[in-house]
Structure 1
Amino acid sequence: MRCRLAAALLLAAVARGVAPVAAVEIPDGYRLDHYRAPTPDRVPGAVTLDTAGIAALLERERPVLIDTTPALRTGETDFSGEWLVAQERRDLPGSLWLPNIGYGSLDATMERYFRQNLEQATGGDRERAVVFYCYLDCWMSWNAAKRAAAWGWRRVYWYPEGTDGWAAAGRPLTRAEPVPLIVE
């Protein structure tokens, strides 16, 4: 779907005499700002899925689905583990919502939160399929997928269309609650 949309936009731009937008380059590290922007077409160490691809994966097995959409912490000095959610978030059914794990730079608390929840969700099995997503044009899922692959997970998938693509395909979304930020 994303490729067809990109092709249609390119054809429309050429027809109007507008120069096409260059492909987004893969950064050496992680994206550190402007997280809602066009992303590259792939993540090093991960497989990119479109909506049909993730639907097929879900039919074959039970991958861990991780939503990386950001949220706000309640109080930085005396953090209770709760997140401030400005508006209702809807996810692919069965997903874990791990807010803020997709920032380009993670402090020690957020890195532990990400690692502990990834370990727990996969049972420590680095061969277990893990799918990262957010919205369309969201670097948070890109960064998180790249980081999981760098940590040694071998079946990392990235769904760049995110909840936007899932909903556009007429697939159901369910109300999401962020996993509390409790680290040991």
Structure 2
Amino acid sequence: MLRAALLLAVLLPVAAMAETVPEPEGYRGAPYAAPVPGGLAGATTVDAEEAHRLWEAGDVAFVDVLPREPKPGNLPEGTIWHERAHDGIPGATWLPNVGYEALSTEEERYFGDGLRQVTGGDPSRPVLFYCKQDCWMSWNAAKRALAMGYRNVLWFPGGADGWAGAGFPTERAEPLVRP
């Protein structure tokens, strides 16, 4: 009984803290793997069940923003580089590296081009952003989409982890090819 009470005393403040993370004014920087706010001003926040319902309906573009580590430029000649495998929500478009606090001009263009592709250029088409659970990358990307004029932005903070944890299918993801 004492052990259970001690466990609750430790876990309750942590759970309460996760629910009270404030939204920053701008984009969030490192560390990106950290508790996230309960929502994003201007966007609709969804849980795994709602994300699955939207996925089944097929009317929402799903965008995965998990970063992808680039091949180091200083590898010795002949070194074999293996990309890290990534599983995501089936049918989602993977736009890696667009959830950082600051994007290069090239990354901004890649993000904008990717959004135009998945929405057919319609800023009112629903688009859902996700990454991993407690990852600021999806929050930043959703906020950036709002700033670009997208009006029906959804944010799934549970990410691929929450999706798979709810028992929904995943598939191997490949990033959208850069022009």
TM-score by length of 1: 0.82
Counterpart amino acid of 1:16?
A
Whether 2:167 is the aligned partner of 1:174: answer no
How far 1:19 moved relative to its partner? Answer: 6.5
CA distances 1:21-60 after superposition (whole Å, capped 9, x unpaired): 4311100000011001110011121100001111222233
Whether 2:64 is the aligned partner of 1:71: answer no
8 Å CA contact retained: 1:142, 1:158: yes
Whether 2:124 is the aligned partner of 1:127: answer yes
Runs of 5+ consecutive residues of structure 1 not aligned to the other structure: 1-10, 77-83
Whether 2:140 is the aligned partner of 1:143: answer yes
CA distances 1:65-119 after superposition (whole Å, capped 9, x unpaired): 110000123467xxxxxxx764210010101110000001001000000001101
Flag the 1:142–1:13 CA change in 2: closer, same or farther, 3 A.
Answer: farther
> Equivalent pairs: percent with the same residue?
45
Which residue is 1:28 aligned to?
25
Aligned pair partner of 1:117 in 107, 114, 123: 114
Larger radius of gyration: 2
Q: Tell me the distance in 2 between the aligned counterparts of 1:43 and 1:14.
A: 31
Flag the 1:165–1:85 CA change in 2: closer, same or farther, 3 A.
Answer: farther
8 Å CA contact retained: 2:52, 2:168: no
Moved over 4 A (4+): 11-14
Whether 2:9 is the aligned partner of 1:16: answer yes
Runs of 5+ consecutive residues of structure 2 not aligned to the other structure: 74-80
Aligned pair partner of 1:53 in 50, 53, 58: 50
How far 1:16 moved relative to its partner? Answer: 2.7
Question: Over the residues paired in the alignment, what is the CA RMSD in angstroms?
Answer: 2.1
**SS in structure 2 opposite 1:20?**
helix
CA distances 1:109-155 after superposition (whole Å, capped 9, x unpaired): 00000001101111111111100001000000000001101111111
Flag the 1:75–1:52 CA change in 2: closer, same or farther, 3 A.
Answer: same
How far 1:14 moved relative to its partner? Answer: 7.6
Residues paired across the two proteins, number: 165
Counterpart amino acid of 1:174?
E
